[in-house]
Homo-oligomer: A and B are copies of this chain.
Amino acid sequence: MSDRILITYSIVGEHAKEIADAIRVEQSIEFPIELASARIQRDVVGQIESLSSPVNNKTEVVISYDQRVVGGELPQLLNVLWGNVSLIPGVGVTDISLPDSVLKNFKGPRFGVPGLRQLFDAPTRPLITTALKPMGSSASELAEMATVLALAGFDMIKDDHSLANQPWATWRTRVEAVASAVAQANEKSGNRTLYAPSLNLPADQIFQAAHEAKSLGAGALLLLPGISGFDAMRAIAEDDSIALPIQSHPAMLGSMLTSRDQGLSHSILLGTLMRLAGADISIFPNFSGRFSFTQEECLSITTSARQPLGKLKPIWVAPAGGMSLDRIPEMRKIYGTSLALLIGGALSRGSLEHNAQAMVASVS
């Protein structure tokens, strides 16, 4: 048992056992089980470990899979977790337990909580981060904004995730201008602000762009695993010649989260998977913001960001999406210290300089 992958499914309706039997085959051999050899039935097909009594018309079923089914790679781990079963209505995944034989293949976050505490000389305080906005601004306008934020003492300034190669500020022009502005501000202030450009770029350019960003002076990276694929983030995080902190953004992942009856738990998608795939900071919508996550869902992400997961470092949570300065005390209370505060548009309400300084002062 200890060397098997355990996945807990929540199955709606009266036929949970039949559906579980379909899932354990669908997620492994995808083949009529009675036609498979005894060895394959025993070693390769998933096995039902437990089946709860239904509560509110939902049954919890634990299916275990031989770790060899994953073959040690993240794409196939994602496929076992949520490949074809994603097409079955009324099935959700509420928990996953990975044995060391799987976890040993993943380096996870390069920095995580301890690494960024050291990097930013922030032994106990939350990180102070923001985003460059709005799309439509020129590279020099974004660079001016970055100068103000860097002088104020932010830890990290990321591109808005949707900044790509728009004509108003193409990627290379923007990264060069902003990285240079942040470097000059740091020189002036003595701060160590990092700029994280968005790698919202074509798949055949993303790895090269990560290197180029670094050579242009970017000190961190923003990845969109729902668009680039989780494994692109994993590969960039593991690349010793890049070695920059990574923020992950949940764009395009929402459909796995918005149904109560179908999808992955918030904890797995935005905690465990982000961590496995090398994010140092997982950005997600805070409760009572522009989106609909509940406080409980947000805290479940925090739990999986921090709880033991093989030798993988714990990661920072960045609950965001319409946050403002007045939410900071509440957020610090709820999320504790391994919190990356991320306030974007609200800093531009009035004086950016004043608001930026106030945000930094509030946690110093």
Q: Can you sample 16 A-B contacts with CB below 8 Å?
A: A26-B290, A29-B133, A29-B136, A32-B349, A35-B345, A73-B202, A75-B227, A76-B162, A79-B227, A79-B252, A82-B255, A86-B251, A87-B257, A87-B285, A88-B258, A204-B235
Number of interface residues of A (CB under 8 A): 88
Interface bits A258-288 vs B (CB < 8 Å: 1, else 0)? 1100111000000000000000000001000
Q: Are B75 and A228 in contact (CB under 8 A)?
A: yes
Q: Is A28 an interface residue (CB 8 A)?
A: yes
A292 at the interface (CB under 8 A from B): yes
Interface pair A203/B227, CB less than 8 Å apart: no
Q: How long is the Cα–Cα vector from A28 to B137 in the complex, in angstroms?
A: 12
Pair A30/B133 contact, Cβ less than 8 Å: yes
Please, which residues of chain B bring their CB within 8 A of the CB of A133?
Answer: 29-31
Whether B251 pairs with A40 at a CB distance below 8 angstroms is: no
Q: Determine, out of A64-72, A147-155, A300-308, the stretch whose residues face the partner at the interface.
A: A64-72
Copies in the complex: 2
Interface residues of A (CB under 8 A from B): 22, 26-32, 35-37, 39-40, 43-44, 68-76, 78-80, 82-89, 133-137, 160-162, 164-168, 170, 200-204, 207, 224, 226-232, 234-235, 239, 250-259, 262-264, 285, 290-292, 344-346, 348-349
Cβ of A104 to closest chain B Cβ, rounded Å: 15
A272 to chain B, nearest CB (A): 16
Please, how many angstroms separate the alpha-carbon atoms of A70 and B258 in the complex? 25
Chain B residues within 8 Å of A70, by CB: 164, 166
Q: Which residues of B contact A256 (CB under 8 A)?
A: 255
Are the CB atoms of B165 and A71 closer together than 8 Å? yes
**Smallest CB–CB gap between A55 and chain B, Å?**
22
Cα A226 to Cα B78 with chains together (Å): 10
Question: By the criterion CB–CB under 8 Å, are A134 and B40 in contact?
Answer: yes
Judge whether A202 and B231 touch: CB under 8 Å. yes
Whether A228 pairs with B227 at a CB distance below 8 angstroms is no
Q: Which residues on the B side are within 8 Å of A89 (C-beta)?
A: 258, 292
A102 to chain B, nearest CB (A): 13
Q: Nearest B residue to A31 by beta-carbon distance?
A: B134
Chain B residues positioned under 8 Å from A22 (CB to CB): 290
A43–B137 Cα gap in the complex (Å)? 11
Q: How far is the CB of A80 from chain B (nearest CB, A)?
A: 7
The CA of A31 and the CA of B26, in the complex, are separated in Å by 43
Contact partner of A252 among B86, B170, B234, B349, CB < 8 A? B86
Q: In the complex the two chains form, what is the Cα distance from A36 to B136 in whole Å?
A: 9
Q: How distant is the Cα of A200 from the Cα of B87 in the complex, in angstroms?
A: 18
Docked CA distance A263–B262 (Å): 12
Asked if A252 contacts B345 (CB within 8 A), the reply is no
In contact, A166 and B227 (Cβ under 8 angstroms)? no
